[in-house]
């Protein structure tokens, strides 16, 4: 039984690529130094998957910045403002598109579907000329082959590329980037020809837009594109990969009707309806790449459940046509659990990062082939049982409070106009009051103070005094600028999510659980493992201190629960809608000396959902 990985994290287990990129951008290292780090990372990833027994190992999923930008480079679709004159696109032009330069801005960046990764949006126009201008895909295939690893080159599919593009500035609103399909396919044919000549036997096209609700002409574009590519693809096994959601029935029908395609990859973690579509009808002789191992979260897979799903699919697609895969690229999860030396053993046993998910995929493939590792499956079952029964996961007080919630608990007892009147009487603000969003720059000195306090190199008093001094500076600046509603600048906060998670029960944190957000920017999402409660008031100490420094209103700054939820690795043992925290919403006793109702600041929440209604006007 075969195994496959859709994609893998690029940054390295300890963010090696991040530091190499930033050193290169700062002029502290050369392009050769950067390439050396990248080459070593790629080799390590390919070797890791090969050693784990993965059959279909991806290449061209590594990127210096973004896979969609890599496709823009491959197609030579460089906006005119970057003054590119043709030829192979170099790092200077590539990074100018990604980051801008001294004279021109970067291309737009937006979220990659509903993940926290961001891609560089292609800018296209009727006049855009396409040419084969980056040989990255073929170079990385040859690089892996030289190491003895035969890989599956991965390309962003032509239709998804265009559907994810935007019209360049100044182009008629009626222009659709999809109209350029016939113009980009010749470049794809060149790439395919080179890969075939180099010995590739498989090629993977990522077409994630197939999970969207597409119009008929958009679906027709898939049929037209792969029909046009059919002769070029002759002799190759072709995998079209989808992920992040169910594939709608019309899209499923279109996809499985493509005669040039050998295999279909589906996210069966989020795509329960897709699973039913497969069971109700799958084309004979085609491969199913079954994405049963979650590529977007950090929990150990339920191997027994996944195995049962796979066994149910064997009768539909045939044992020799079923391939075990991840639900999507593993770039959306942390890299390797082995680097987490400070997580306690119990919680650690519940987790699987990218490196561990590779092992899970292969273990499932071997089990399907009759080579089940009984000890490995038993350890997995024991870890799942431990998590289900752990008192750290379930908090009775939170459970009772959640059950007791009523619809009225989510609505104010007073009208907006009444609250506005009360606020105006209290604050006496002008018609158009001025304020800022909240954060002031996190200076090198601030980071040093926080780092030394965390390492216990300075006392709590020294730390408090340092933060107090910074808040005082921020307040003074705003008063001099005549700002109406002030902020304290948030100098005490390391991250807008992690700072609050550290003060809530049910959260834990990693040392090296970094995930790429964009370019070299990485985030370290908290892990929500249990029912969330708020043992103590949050932010009140610093907000009261800041308010004592001015007669003007001082906002209390809170990251809202929607943001915290979406920027964390959340529980997978209950519906996402149940991931709430009634005790977090409920204020401490009125008699508590630090009760938020007794503090003066007004509320600001950086989420659409205000988590602390207690601090708003009555």
What pLDDT is attached to residue 136?
98
In this structure, are residues 37 and 17 in contact, taking their beta carbons and an 8 Å threshold?
A: yes
- Decide which of 389, 419, 448 is a domain's last residue: 389
- Give residue-wise pLDDT tens across range 560-610: 888 899 899 999 998 777 765 544 444 333 333 333 323 344 444 444 333
Alpha helices in 14-163 (DSSP H): 16-25, 31-52, 67-75, 91-99, 136-146, 158-163
| Cα–Cα dist 128/617, whole Å | 55
pLDDT, average across residues 450-474: 95
Same domain, 70 and 160: yes
How much is the pTM? 0.89
Structure confidence by residue, pLDDT tens digits, 67-102: 999 999 999 999 999 999 999 999 999 999 999 999
For residues 291 and 421, state if they share a domain: no
d(CA 329, CA 192): 22
* Whether residue 333 is found in the same domain as residue 438: no
Measured between alpha carbons, how far is 241 from 155 in angstroms, rounded to an integer?
10
Mean predicted confidence (pLDDT) in 517-529: 95
Same structural domain, 344 and 400: no
- Mean pLDDT across 214-221: 98
Task: Give the mean pLDDT of 122-134.
Answer: 97
417 and 345 housed in the same domain: no
460 & 330 share domain: no
Indicate the average pLDDT of the chain. Answer: 92
Same domain membership, residue 409 and residue 355: no
329 and 428 together in one domain: no
- What tokens were used for 549? 């420094």
Query: Given pLDDT bands bounded at 50, 70 and 90, which one contains residue 611?
Result: very low
Considering the domain architecture, whether residues 382 and 460 belong to the same structural domain is answered as no
Mean pLDDT of 40-66: 98
DSSP 351-394: B--HHHHHHHHHHHHHHHTT---HHHHHHHHHHHHHHHH-TTT-
What Å distances lie between residue 616 and 252, 414, 418, 555, 597, CA to CA?
49, 11, 12, 11, 9
- Asked, for residue 21, whether it belongs to a domain, the answer is no
Q: What are phi and psi of 384, to 5 degrees?
A: -65, -40
Instruction: Identify whether residues 419 and 497 lie together within a single domain.
Output: yes
CATH number of the structural domain spanning residue 447: 3.20.20.210
Last residue of a domain, one of 389, 423, 452: 389
Q: Which residues pair with 505 in a beta bridge?
A: 533
Residue 530's nearest CA partner among 269, 333, 292, 299 is: 299
Q: Mean pLDDT over residues 534-541, rounded?
A: 91
The neighbour count for residue 82, using CB atoms within 10 Å, is: 19
CA angle 475, 479, 483 (to 5 degrees): 105
- State residue 603's pLDDT score: 44
What's the CA gap between 243 and 227, in Å, rounded? Answer: 22
Query: What domain count does the chain have?
Result: 2
Residue with tokens 């001094």: 469
Across 460-480, average pLDDT: 96
Asked if residue 617 belongs to a domain, the reply is no
Asked if residue 616 is part of any domain, the answer here is no
What lies within 8 Å, CB to CB, of 335 at 6+ separation is 9, 11, 12, 13, 353, 354, 355, 512, 514
Q: Which of 366, 389, 412 is the last residue of a domain?
A: 389
Q: 381 and 403 share a domain? A: no
Q: How many angstroms separate the CA atoms of 47 and 39, rounded?
A: 12
Range of the domain at 458: 396-585
What pLDDT is stored for residue 411 in this prediction? Answer: 86
Same domain for 270 and 310, yes or no, is yes
Mean pLDDT of 339-348: 93
**Residue 579: per-residue pLDDT:** 66
Cβ atoms 333, 404 nearer than 8 A: no
Cβ pair 569, 579 in contact under 8 A: no
């Amino acid at each position: 039984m075969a195994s496959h990985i859709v994609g893998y994290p690029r940054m390295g287990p300890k963010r090696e690529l991040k530091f190499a990129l930033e050193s290169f951008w700062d002029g502290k290292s050369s392009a050769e130094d950067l390439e050396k780090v990248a080459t070593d990372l790629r080799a390590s990833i390919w070797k890791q998957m090969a050693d784990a027994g993965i059959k279909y190992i991806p290449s061209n999923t590594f990127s210096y910045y973004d896979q969609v930008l890599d496709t823009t480079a491959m197609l030579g679709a460089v906006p005119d403002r970057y003054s590119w004159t043709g030829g192979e696109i170099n790092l200077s032009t590539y990074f100018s598109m990604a980051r801008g330069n001294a004279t021109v801005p970067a291309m737009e960046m937006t979220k990659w579907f509903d993940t926290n990764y961001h891609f560089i949006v292609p800018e296209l126009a009727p006049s855009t000329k396409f040419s084969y201008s980056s040989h990255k895909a073929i170079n990385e295939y040859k690089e892996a082959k030289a190491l003895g690893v035969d890989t599956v080159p991965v390309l962003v599919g032509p239709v998804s590329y265009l559907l994810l593009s935007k019209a360049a500035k100044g182009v008629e609103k009626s222009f659709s980037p999809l109209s350029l399909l016939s113009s980009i396919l010749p470049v794809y044919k060149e790439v395919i020809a080179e890969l075939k000549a180099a010995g590739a036997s498989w090629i993977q096209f990522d077409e994630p837009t197939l999970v969207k609700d597409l119009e008929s002409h958009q679906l027709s574009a898939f049929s037209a594109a792969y029909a046009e590519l059919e002769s070029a693809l002759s002799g190759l096994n072709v995998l079209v990969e989808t992920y992040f959601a169910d594939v709608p029935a019309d899209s499923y029908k279109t996809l499985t009707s493509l005669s040039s395609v050998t295999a279909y990859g589906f996210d069966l973690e989020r795509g329960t309806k897709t699973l039913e579509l497969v069971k109700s009808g799958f084309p004979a002789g085609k491969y199913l790449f079954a994405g049963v191992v979650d590529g977007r979260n950090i929990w150990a897979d339920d191997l027994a459940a996944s195995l049962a799903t796979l066994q149910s699919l064997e009768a539909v697609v045939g044992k020799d046509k079923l391939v075990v895969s991840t639900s999507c690229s593993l770039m959306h999860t942390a890299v390797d659990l082995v680097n987490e030396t400070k997580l306690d053993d119990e919680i650690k046993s519940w987790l699987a990062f990218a490196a561990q998910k590779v092992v899970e995929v292969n273990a499932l493939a071997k089990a399907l082939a009759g080579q089940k590792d009984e000890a490995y499956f038993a350890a997995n079952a024991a870890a799942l049982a431990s998590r289900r029964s752990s008192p750290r996961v379930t908090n009775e007080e939170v459970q009772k409070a959640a059950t007791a919630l009523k619809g009225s608990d989510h609505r104010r007892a007073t009208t907006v106009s009444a609250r506005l009147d009360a606020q105006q009487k209290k604050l006496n603000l002008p018609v158009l009051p001025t304020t800022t969003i909240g954060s002031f720059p996190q200076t090198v000195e601030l980071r040093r103070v926080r780092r030394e306090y965390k390492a216990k190199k300075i006392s709590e008093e020294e730390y408090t005094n340092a933060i107090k001094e910074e808040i005082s500076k921020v307040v003074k600046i705003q008063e001099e600028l005549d700002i109406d509603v002030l902020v304290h600048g948030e100098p005490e906060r390391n991250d807008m999510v992690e700072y609050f998670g550290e003060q809530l029960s049910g959260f834990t944190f990693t040392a090296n659980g970094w995930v790429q957000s964009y370019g070299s920017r990485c985030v370290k999402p908290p892990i929500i493992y249990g029912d969330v409660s708020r043992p103590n008031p949050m932010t009140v100490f610093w907000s009261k201190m800041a308010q004592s420094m001015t007669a003007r209103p001082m906002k209390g700054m809170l990251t809202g629960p929607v943001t915290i939820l979406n920027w964390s690795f959340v529980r997978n043992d209950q519906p996402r809608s149940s991931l709430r925290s009634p005790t977090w919403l409920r204020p401490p006793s009125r008699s508590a000396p630090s009760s938020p109702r007794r503090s003066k600041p007004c509320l600001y929440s950086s989420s659409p959902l205000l988590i602390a209604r207690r601090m708003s006007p009555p």
